[in-house]
Amino acid sequence: MVDRGRRFKDEVYDQFARVGKALASPRRLELLDLLAQGPRSVEVLATHVDQPLANTSHHLRVLRAARLVDSEKVGTRVIYRVAGDDVITLFQAVRGVAESRLAEVELVTRQFLEERQAMERIDAADLLERTRSGVVTVLDVRPREEYEGGHVPGAVSVPLDELKSRLSELPMDRAVVAYCRGPYCVLAVEAIEILRAGGFEAVRMEDGVAEWAAHGFDIETEEATR
């Protein structure tokens, strides 16, 4: 006969494992990272993770079964969002452990950034000071809807796909700091290449909005700036 204490532990750890199993997929981790920026439709998420719609829907159903994301029907679309701030904290913790324990994370990242000449970066605290002093132009190069959902105070929305055509809007006498979705988002890296080719002094901020908020800094929404 199974001891009641043993049965209890088996059952509760089985529930813990549901979360672990849901996270045990590179694509699902990327989806959580994207949803930390704000709610998204399945179609938009599939485009961002470069996956077929059916595959993306499957991954989202797994995350929802583990109560890591919620969904709602809006017209003909299904919109997903993270189930709570604790889910974002969990994702950041998983990422942090990987960064501190797996040398491969730094190796792969360094190789990519060195190839793109994007190793130079600025941290959030330094950016906050420079923004207050008015010595830099801060660009949010994420899609417009992500900027509207929350951005670094004072940042200007210039989505990456618009950047080349809008360079003339930027003052040449200021350094430019570009940011996107966090340390493993490549939008800001590509933005730096475009800015430097256009003659700008440009660096990227490694943190995204979720990391900025985790530091305790304020987030500005589009509504607040109107």
Q: Given the residues 180, 202, 203, 213, select the one marked as catalytic.
A: 180
Longest dimension (CA), the chain: 77
- Strand order of the β-sheet with 40-41 is 40-41, 77-82, 69-74
Query: Which amino acid makes up residue 141?
Result: V
Distance CA 148, CA 38 (A): 10
DSSP letter string over 40-88?
EEHHHHHHHTT--HHHHHHHHHHHHHTTSEEEEEETTEEEEEES-HHHH
Active site residue 180: yes
Q: How far is CA 80 from CA 26, 27, 153, in A?
A: 18, 15, 26
139 phi and psi angles, rounded to 5 deg? -110, 130
Strand partners, 220: 151
Beta pairing partners, 71: 80
At 179, which helix (H) or strand (E)? strand 175-179
Residues with a catalytic annotation lie at 180
